[in-house]
Each structure stands twice: as C-alpha cells, then as structure tokens.
Chain A
Amino acid sequence: MPSGPPRRIKDDRFNVLAALTLAGFLLVVMGLLRLQVVQHDELSRLSEQNRVRLDVLRAPRGAIRDRFGRLLADNQPSFDIIFRPMPAESTTRVRSVIHSEWIARVAALLEDDTLDVRRRVLEANRTGQTAVLRRNSPYAVMAAVEESRSDLPGLDVQVAPIRRYPEGTLGAQLLGYAGEINDQELSDREDDGYRLGDLIGKTGVERRYEDLLRGTDGAEFVVVNAMGKRVSTLHEGPPRPPVPGHDVTLTIDLDIQRMMEETMADVDRGAAVAIDPRDGSILGMVSRPNFDPNEFSRGISFARWKELNEDGSNPLLNRAIQSAYPPGSTFKVVAMLAALRFGLVTADTHMPVSCNGGFNFGGRRAACWDKHGHGSVDLLTALQFSCDVYFYQLGLRLGLDKIQSTARALGMGEKTGIDLPAESRGLIPTDAYYDRHFKSGHWPRGVLLNLGIGQGELLATPLQLALMTSIVSNGGTPVRPHVVKAIADDPGFKLEKPLEPGISTTPEAWAAVHEAMQRVVDKGTALAARVPGIAVAGKTGTAQNPHGKDHAVFVCYAPADHPTIAMAWIAENSGHGGVVCAPMAARVLRRALLGDSTQIAVRAAARRDSLAAADSTEAAD
C-alpha cells in the first residue's frame, strides 16, 4: 500500500510546487523578453557594428614628499604601445593580424625583435588579454604607430602612469622604487586585486606603504568600432572612477638629506643616518653606493638588472638598516653608561692598571690603539681619548649581562621597528649565544675585553647606532625611528610605540656621559666634528674588519645642551672615524643647525626663540 498522507493533500502540495516552478520559469521568460524584444535593437547594434571593451582607469599612485612638502616621488605618463586582440568571430581578421607581414611591420616600427612581437601577439590572441608591446616608448615611435594604426588593426597607444623620482639617486634605498608586478607577487597578492601590468612597490617606503600609496583602479565600459577606436561609453555599466593613492609625507629634510648625499659622494661603500632624538624622526638616510630608481620605472632591461644585483657592492642594499657593522669604539659610550648606571664607577674612577699602550690578560697582551699609552686616566678622559686599556678593564668589571642589557635598552641587538622593510637585527651576544659558540658555560672571559671596546661579535646597523646616540643624547627616553610623518586623508595614522625600553639612571651619570662625549669633539679624538657656535658631542670609532681596511665610524649629536639631531656615520674600509667621518658630520651639522649662509641669521633667530621657549618651560617645571 502506498504510505504517507492522503492523495488530496499530496495534490495540494504538488500544486504549490508547480506554481513555484512556473513562477520561476516565467521570470526567466520575462528576462528573455526584456533582452530579446525590448532591448533587441540597442543590443543588436552593440553586437553588429561595435563591440564593448573594458578599459581600466589607472589610479595615480600617491606622491612622496619631504617634511616640508618638497617632492620626492610622483607620477608621469608613459606611452605604451599595446596590442588588443581582435574578436575571434572574424577569423579572417585574426589570421591577418598574426600574418607575418603584420608582425614584421610592427616589429620594425617598435624597433623590436620579430619573434618577441609574434610571441606576445599570439599569447594575447589566445587569452583575449591586451599585450604591452613596448613600454614608455619615445615620441618618434609613438608618432609612427599613430600614423599607421589604420593599416595595423589591433595596435594602439595607451597612456599609463609610471613613477618619477625628481631627485634621482637621492635617498634611493630609502624611497625604494615601484615597478611592474612580477609573477610571484601577482600570485601572492591576487586577492588584493592586483592584475598583470600593475605597479607595485618593491623596496623602501614604496613597498612598506604600498597599500596606502597604491589607490584603487577604476574601470569603464567603452563601445569601440571595428578598428578598436572608441565611439562612446556604455550606459549599462557606469564608469567607476579611479581612487588615487594617499600622498605620504616623510620625516626626511631634503636639505639635510642632500647635504648627507653630497658629503658621502666620495665614499664607495657606507651609510649615514640622521635622527631627531626628540621623537625618532629620520631626517636623512644615505646608503652608498646608490642607484637611480627612475631606471626601474622606465622598465629596466634584464642585463641592467643583473648588473645591479651582481655588482659586489650591491647598490640596491640599504646599508643604513640592512648592513650590520662592528660598532668599534662608539660602543664605549654604551659600556660607560652601563658602568655608571649599575654604580660600578663614577666620573673620576681610575682603573687599577694604567695605560702604557697595552693590557696583559690571560697570558696575552691586548694593545691600546695609542701605543704610547694614556697613563692613568679617569672615566671621562678615557672616553675622550678612547683609551682601550681603560675599557678592557671596564668590560671585565661589567660582565656580559650588564653590557648586553644596556645595549638592548638602547635599541641594539633587535630590530628598531623602523617603518622600512627588511631591517637587520644586528647582534648583541648573550650567554646563550656564547654557549652555542663555546662549550656551554665555559666561554673565556677574554670576550669581555673585546666587548668593552666594541669589537668581537658585536654588530649594529647604522640606524641602531644613530638610535643609541639619540637615546643617550635625550637622557634615556626611548623613541621609535620612523620615516613617515603623515599620510594625506588618513587620520588613523599614528606613531607606534618604541620597542626598546630606554634607560633611567641618575642625572650625574647622564651629565658624565654627555660631558665626556662633548670633550671627544672639543678636545679629544673628533676635533674635525667641531662646528663654530654649536656645542657638538660625539664618539669616534674604528671598526676592525677581518676582510680589509678598518671601517670608519662616528656618532654624534648637537646642540649638546638641547639635541635636535643625532647621527651615525660609517664609511667602509676607509680608516679612522675621527679622520674620515667626523668632518662629514660637521658639514651636515653646520647645514642642519645653521642652514645656508644666507639663512643663518633667520635660523639662528628661530633657534634662539625655541631655546628661550624651552628654557621657560623648564623654569615652569
């Protein structure tokens, strides 16, 4: 027997379902009638005489400016010769397009290889996607293409924005560059709406702030005639306007940056960083050698790309944040601060062994850089003349833990968190580090000798040295190094918290460190860093380098009483920091604090005002 509800109920339910079915199909029929009867004429016209093409409206990338609004990167039009595949219904046309005569003529026009043109045209015909045959073509080529377009179906000229860096090599590694997206990036970022031929930030600020700089492309449907020429837009899909990317304002001061580049021009390899120690703003950042990012915008040849990458000195590397160097004697500042904050010494402490040009330890003699010796000196004098023997003993007295914890509190040994990609951590060794490299728990105390004078395993990036100097100069306040000051129309942008803890110790300890660093410049190893009318504090370094001549290192800040700029300089394989780097630093300080000779009066007045303001605030405290 059939089960379930009675037949009548089933019939009722069938009727409901049948009604729904008919309603659904009626909807389809109405859709068909709308298209095939109501809109038939209009759609026929589109189908028969014309066809619809989707044109991408490229969003301009945001500009990059210095802290005073001076332009560092913007866009310029590039005239690309493109091939738009013909509709496949006219098979004769498809054949005529890939005809060898067509290919040969186009190749001749574009001054390109026939095989290459052929390959791209075939690919475009296969996929239906537009192919770029020549990017950023010169005017002559463009004009020639325009003239013969009517005999060469499918060929077209398209304007697309490319990146322009008006200052050329200035700040190249910092700004980075934006270039055409590659296959790997495309497959990684497909979800973010990237398409073939898009620009994408590859390094530096361009990469770090890609999401904000990029903008959103628009699109419109255009009706084109049989020759591919635009007739009108299609009202079916209203155009979606492109949304430009955000403009980004950097903390960089173009004057300081330019002066740093000029003074570094003779340095083959090296880097320099200038920071405002009050808030961590990067005022300038130079890495040598450098490159011209405009080369990448224009579309770099594979040969040139290889040349840049395989050049031993690697111009693409941002040495200021990606290369770690032994800090050399500049690290004595860290050792001195560590000893003072843990109460192991005071400003006038003398070490048991006085300097006679060397120090005997563990059966070996460790030399002082000055083989004549410094005699028995106090802490301030030891830093002033960079006495190695004094700091060997200080290193032994401190021990590993106090040294490394102080260095880390000053931002060394970890990433500083600067808003640039691919930062290096440097290296501040710990117990665990030595346990890995020596027998566990049995590493020789001799390593402390080296740490005391900034040699051995220590490594720091120029940025880390500049950050360390900043924190020392401002009395221990941590700051977050950053290159972006503001982003247009993005109120959500805010400065991130510093990653390093900073240092809190007695005013006497700070006074001793500041006094000693000022003496280094006034009457110590960095006489060349003096600037008339400005009190400068600093510390020289000469980093021993197993691969060749010593690296010259110098850190400094000024004005000594109210520091507004702190810098670190490294020139690879060029000798003493006090001889090579200190004069370069002096030129930049002069420029930064006194300005052009014509502006000196103006700036000095402004500086007096700000100092007066600062004094009155202090008085109020």
Chain B
Amino acid sequence: MRLRVPYLDWPLFFATAGLILMGLLTVYSATSIPGAHQGLWVKQLAWCAIAFGAAWVIVAVHYRLYDSLAWPLYGISLVLLVAVLAIGSSKLGAKRWIELGPLQFQPSELAKLATTFVLARYFDNARLDLTQPRWWLPPLFIALVPFALVAKEPDLGTGLSFPAMLIAMYFWAGMPMGRLLLGLSPVFNVALFFVTGSVWWFVGLFIAMIALARPKLQMLLIVVALNGVVAVELPHLWNHLHDYQKRRIETFINPDNDPYGAGYQIIQSKIAIGSGGVMGKGYLKGSQKALSFLPMRHTDFIYSVVGEELGFLGALTVVLLYVVVILRGYRLAAVARDGFAGLMAIGVVTAMFFTIMVNMLMTVGWAPVTGVPLPFLSYGGTALVVNCIQIGLLQNVALRRREY
C-alpha cells in the first residue's frame, strides 16, 4: 500500500534520527582507541540501514494485523523465552541470547512487543471494567509470565519493563489511580523489606493507602491477602536462599557491596561524566583513562562517553531528544484512532521510557548496574532494529489516526 508520508509524525522522526546519529558518532569515538572493538561503527552503520528497512515494513502494514497476530506472537515469544533458558548462549553469567548463525537474537525483545499487542487487544474491550478482579487479573498473568521468564535469565532490568508497561496500560485503560497504587502495594512491600529489612514500615504505609483509596471489601480482601502472603513468606524465603543467591540480590539492591564488578564500573562512569564538566572535553578527546578498561563503554555505558566528551550540554541534548520521542509517543496514544492503537502506543513508549531510565540512572550512579542498553545510542544491531520497530509502530499509529 502507499504510505501517506505527510501524516508521519515528523518531530518523532527527526528526534529518532538525531539520536541514531549521536549514537553512531559516539560509538565511533568510544571504539577509536586501538583495541578489540575498533571499527565497530561501520557495522553499526550497516545495522542502521537494516533497522530503517524493518521500520518501514512495520509502518506499511496496518496495525490491525498486529492486533490479530497478538496471541500467536505471544505464544511464540514464550516458547523462545523458555528455549533461551535451555539452550541460549551465556555472556557474563546470564542467558539472554539465541544464536542465529552470525546474529544474536534476544527473545525478550520480541516478548515485549508481543505482550504489548496482547495487552492492547485485551484492554480494547467495551465491556472492560477494571474494578472487577475477573477483568484485572488476566492481564496481570499475561505480563507476569514473560516477566518471570526474563527475570530468570537473569535480566531483571529488561524484565521489569513488563510490569512497567502493564501499569501504564492499566492506567490508560481506566483503572482508578487509588486502586492502581493499592494493587502495586506488594511491590512496595518487597522493596521496603529489602531496603529496611523489616515488614513494619510497609504495614504503616499500607494502612495509610487503604485509608486513602477506600476500596471495596472484595478488593480489600484480595490485596490484604496478597500482601499477607508476601509479608509472611518473604523473610522465610530469604532465610532459605543460598549465600550466593542472597549476595546476588544484595548486589542488585546495593552495587557498592560488589566493588569488584558493578561498583567499579559505576565509579569509572561517574569519573568520566563528572570530568566532562559543562562543555565536555571535546569530541574524540575523551581522556577518561580507566574507562578504557570498561568492556561496555560502547554498549551499556555509552552515555558516560557522551557526558565526558560533550559535557552537560551534550548529555542534555540527548535527554531532550528522548523527551521529544517519549512525549510524542504518549501524545500519539491520545490522538490514536481507536483503543487498540492508543494502548499499543502506551505499551511501546512506556517500555522504551523504562529502558532509558534504567540505563541513564545507572550511568549517573543512581540505579543498580543491570546490563540494559541505551536505546538508539548503544552499539548493538538487534537492539537498534527493535527500537526502530518500536518507532515504526508509533508512526503506524500516527499515519492512520485520520483514517475514517
């Protein structure tokens, strides 16, 4: 079919293109030091072409196709997630990839898209009543199954984008805020337990939340029961973990406990960014010495290179470009022609927003090291293709918003 190019969302298009360009330049700079990764930017350039082609195909097909293919795609992605646990190749202790000849493929990326489609399809229903458990329980399972499989790889950073997406879509589909917060209470429960080591903090918070939200009795009972199970079982479960499992969780919560690995990277990243100052050291002039020993300076820690060489102004430019992408994405959800398109846009944008936050906050030292790449900037072919496909889906919504 012919694309009505003028209807594309141009701010979104140019912001994306700007980010990809910055990514290419930074990968070039990060790999310009003699070493194993020299010349990777050429490969990244080739991937740009592929990613653009993929996005074009995604835009060309009407999103109704994604609607109808949602469940089969979801099924396939679950099979692949199980397969990756069984046969996937491991890197740095995690099994995240399936090798396809020379390519590596992360099933968690497909699962993110497929789960978005399924949830959008589910929520796009005239009879939907999110005050009833029989309506709000199924999507919880739809999102938690891929979450659990991805978290097991272990790739908690990517895994958590499933609940993030789900929460945004609950909200968009009309679940009242108070209820949503109450529903999230087991999450606060776990988080508070790990931070404070006691369940009593949460008990106080929980009572305050109930007083504010005043849920129906049925809802109240479910939430109380859920939190009760979590509160009673969690310390029990914790004490039964092996020492090395506890250590992993503790390192995840607090990377300073692991100064050999994650803590070292964080400190190097902070030095790189901080030494860049407001103006930066100049493109290709990054002298952050220790950072050159970081194996991930062109992937997970690429934002440190931007911060060092281009300074606060360069880093801020990247932030502004992301703000355009995310806000345009949410805006498209609001103007979408139908429920499915809006919900799909919400899911896609939230997943991307979450990934950006996890990576950027890690780079500035405010979030644990989780091995999540920065969309459009980090080196990595499949990630770039997937990110362009996500943009393609948003453009697809933009293109057809005026179809009658």
- CA gap between A36 and B247 in the complex, in Å: 32
Q: Are the CB atoms of A47 and B311 closer together than 8 Å?
A: no
- CA gap between A455 and B351 in the complex, in Å: 75
Q: How far is the CB of B340 from chain A (nearest CB, A)?
A: 9
- CA gap between A240 and B250 in the complex, in Å: 15
Q: Are the CB atoms of B293 and A44 closer together than 8 Å?
A: no
Q: Are the CB atoms of B339 and A4 closer together than 8 Å?
A: yes
Contacts of A56 in B (CB 8 A): 260
Q: Are the CB atoms of B264 and A54 closer together than 8 Å?
A: yes
Is B256 among interface residues, defined by CB-CB distance under 8 A? yes
Q: Are the CB atoms of A52 and B268 closer together than 8 Å?
A: yes
Q: Are the CB atoms of A52 and B244 closer together than 8 Å?
A: no
**A32-B273 contact given A2-B336, A48-B287, CB 8 Å threshold:** yes
Q: Are the CB atoms of B357 and A24 closer together than 8 Å?
A: yes
**Nearest B residue to A53 by beta-carbon distance?**
B290
**Nearest A residue to B320 by beta-carbon distance?**
A25
- CA gap between A221 and B263 in the complex, in Å: 10
Q: How far is the CB of A246 from chain B (nearest CB, A)?
A: 15
Contacts of B256 in A (CB 8 A): 237
Q: How far is the CB of A26 from chain B (nearest CB, A)?
A: 9
Q: Are the CB atoms of A237 and B307 closer together than 8 Å?
A: no
- Contact pick for A87, options B272, B273, B292, CB 8 Å: B292
**A37-B288 contact given A17-B168, A21-B323, CB 8 Å threshold:** no
Is A71 among interface residues, defined by CB-CB distance under 8 A? no
Is B223 among interface residues, defined by CB-CB distance under 8 A? no
Q: Are the CB atoms of B287 and A11 closer together than 8 Å?
A: no
Q: Are the CB atoms of A52 and B271 closer together than 8 Å?
A: yes
* Candidate in A2, A47, A54 with the most chain B CB atoms within 10 angstroms: A47
- CA gap between A236 and B266 in the complex, in Å: 10
- Contact pick for A51, options B290, B312, B316, B353, CB 8 Å: B290
Is B276 among interface residues, defined by CB-CB distance under 8 A? yes
Task: Give a binary string over B38-70; 1 marks a CB under 8 Å from any A CB, 0 the rest.
Answer: 000000000000000000000000000000000
**A28-B331 contact given A36-B278, A47-B275, CB 8 Å threshold:** no
Contacts of B146 in A (CB 8 A): none
**A219-B319 contact given A36-B273, A88-B34, CB 8 Å threshold:** no
- Give the segment of B7-15, B132-140, B188-196, B359-367 that binds chain A: B359-367
**A44-B34 contact given A36-B307, A192-B244, CB 8 Å threshold:** no
Is A128 among interface residues, defined by CB-CB distance under 8 A? yes
**Nearest A residue to B322 by beta-carbon distance?**
A25
- Contact pick for B278, options A3, A11, A37, CB 8 Å: A37
- Contact pick for B275, options A24, A48, A219, CB 8 Å: A48
Task: Give a binary string over A164-195; 1 marks a CB under 8 Å from any B CB, 0 the rest.
Answer: 00000000000000000000000000111101
**Nearest B residue to A126 by beta-carbon distance?**
B36
Q: Are the CB atoms of A35 and B273 closer together than 8 Å?
A: yes
Is B204 among interface residues, defined by CB-CB distance under 8 A? no
Contacts of B336 in A (CB 8 A): 2
Interface residues of B in 336-368 (CB under 8 A from A): 336-339, 342, 346, 353, 357, 360-361, 364-366
Q: Are the CB atoms of B33 and A89 closer together than 8 Å?
A: yes
**Nearest A residue to B323 by beta-carbon distance?**
A25
Q: Are the CB atoms of B260 and A195 closer together than 8 Å?
A: yes
Task: Give a binary string over B237-280; 1 marks a CB under 8 Å from any A CB, 0 the rest.
Answer: 00000001001000000001001100110011011111111100
Contact-residue size bin, chain B (C-beta under 8 Å from the other chain): 35 or more
Contacts of A128 in B (CB 8 A): 293
- CA gap between A230 and B326 in the complex, in Å: 46
Contact-residue size bin, chain A (C-beta under 8 Å from the other chain): 35 or more
Q: Are the CB atoms of A89 and B288 closer together than 8 Å?
A: yes
Is A619 among interface residues, defined by CB-CB distance under 8 A? no
Is B289 among interface residues, defined by CB-CB distance under 8 A? yes
* Candidate in B275, B311, B333 with the most chain A CB atoms within 10 angstroms: B275
**A36-B338 contact given A28-B364, A193-B244, CB 8 Å threshold:** no
- Contact pick for A35, options B171, B288, B353, B364, CB 8 Å: B364
Contacts of B360 in A (CB 8 A): 28, 31
- CA gap between A13 and B342 in the complex, in Å: 12
Q: Are the CB atoms of A88 and B312 closer together than 8 Å?
A: no
Contacts of A220 in B (CB 8 A): 259
**A21-B337 contact given A28-B319, A36-B277, A193-B247, CB 8 Å threshold:** no
Contacts of A221 in B (CB 8 A): 259, 264, 267
**A4-B338 contact given A91-B34, A237-B259, CB 8 Å threshold:** yes
Contacts of A3 in B (CB 8 A): 124, 126, 338-339
Interface of A is mostly: helix
Is A111 among interface residues, defined by CB-CB distance under 8 A? no
Q: Are the CB atoms of B353 and A21 closer together than 8 Å?
A: yes
Contacts of A237 in B (CB 8 A): 256, 259, 263, 267
Contacts of B319 in A (CB 8 A): 25, 28-29, 32
**A34-B342 contact given A43-B275, A128-B293, CB 8 Å threshold:** no
Is B220 among interface residues, defined by CB-CB distance under 8 A? no
Q: Are the CB atoms of B315 and A36 closer together than 8 Å?
A: yes
Q: How far is the CB of B22 from chain A (nearest CB, A)?
A: 15
Q: Are the CB atoms of B277 and A44 closer together than 8 Å?
A: yes
Q: How far is the CB of A572 from chain B (nearest CB, A)?
A: 43
- CA gap between A27 and B359 in the complex, in Å: 13
Q: How far is the CB of A132 from chain B (nearest CB, A)?
A: 17
**A32-B34 contact given A13-B172, A40-B275, A192-B244, CB 8 Å threshold:** no
**Nearest A residue to B171 by beta-carbon distance?**
A13
- Contact pick for B364, options A31, A37, A52, A195, CB 8 Å: A31
Q: Are the CB atoms of A17 and B330 closer together than 8 Å?
A: yes
Contacts of A10 in B (CB 8 A): 333-334, 342
Interface residues of A in 529-583 (CB under 8 A from B): none
Is B174 among interface residues, defined by CB-CB distance under 8 A? yes
Q: Are the CB atoms of B271 and A4 closer together than 8 Å?
A: no
**A47-B278 contact given A31-B365, A32-B315, A35-B307, CB 8 Å threshold:** no
**Nearest A residue to B343 by beta-carbon distance?**
A4
Contacts of A29 in B (CB 8 A): 316, 319
Q: How far is the CB of A275 from chain B (nearest CB, A)?
A: 34
Contacts of A89 in B (CB 8 A): 33, 287-289, 292
Q: How far is the CB of B324 from chain A (nearest CB, A)?
A: 11
Is A234 among interface residues, defined by CB-CB distance under 8 A? yes
Is B203 among interface residues, defined by CB-CB distance under 8 A? no
Q: Are the CB atoms of A16 and B272 closer together than 8 Å?
A: no
**A234-B267 contact given A47-B289, A91-B33, CB 8 Å threshold:** yes
Is B35 among interface residues, defined by CB-CB distance under 8 A? yes
**Nearest B residue to A88 by beta-carbon distance?**
B292
**A46-B271 contact given A3-B339, A28-B360, A28-B364, CB 8 Å threshold:** yes
Q: How far is the CB of B244 from chain A (nearest CB, A)?
A: 5
**Nearest B residue to A86 by beta-carbon distance?**
B289
Is B187 among interface residues, defined by CB-CB distance under 8 A? no
Q: Which 4 A-B residue pairs are closest in the complex by CB-CB distance?
A: A43-B274, A31-B364, A87-B289, A47-B275
A residues lining the B interface (CB < 8 Å): 1-5, 7, 10-11, 13-14, 16-18, 21-22, 24-25, 27-29, 31-37, 39-40, 42-44, 46-48, 51-54, 56, 85, 87-91, 94, 126, 128, 190-193, 195, 219-221, 234, 236-237, 240
- 15 new A-B contacts, CB < 8 A, other than A36-B312, A43-B273, A219-B259, are A4-B124, A13-B171, A21-B353, A24-B357, A25-B319, A28-B357, A28-B360, A28-B364, A36-B311, A37-B312, A40-B275, A88-B293, A195-B260, A219-B260, A221-B264
Q: Could you name 14 residue pairs across A and B whose Cβ atoms are closer than 8 Å?
A: A2-B338, A24-B353, A28-B360, A31-B365, A31-B366, A35-B307, A35-B365, A36-B273, A39-B270, A51-B290, A52-B268, A192-B244, A220-B259, A237-B259
B residues lining the A interface (CB < 8 Å): 33-36, 93, 124, 126, 168, 171-172, 174, 244, 247, 256, 259-260, 263-264, 267-268, 270-278, 287-290, 292-293, 307, 311-312, 315-316, 319, 322-323, 326-327, 330-331, 333-334, 336-339, 342, 346, 353, 357, 360-361, 364-366, 404
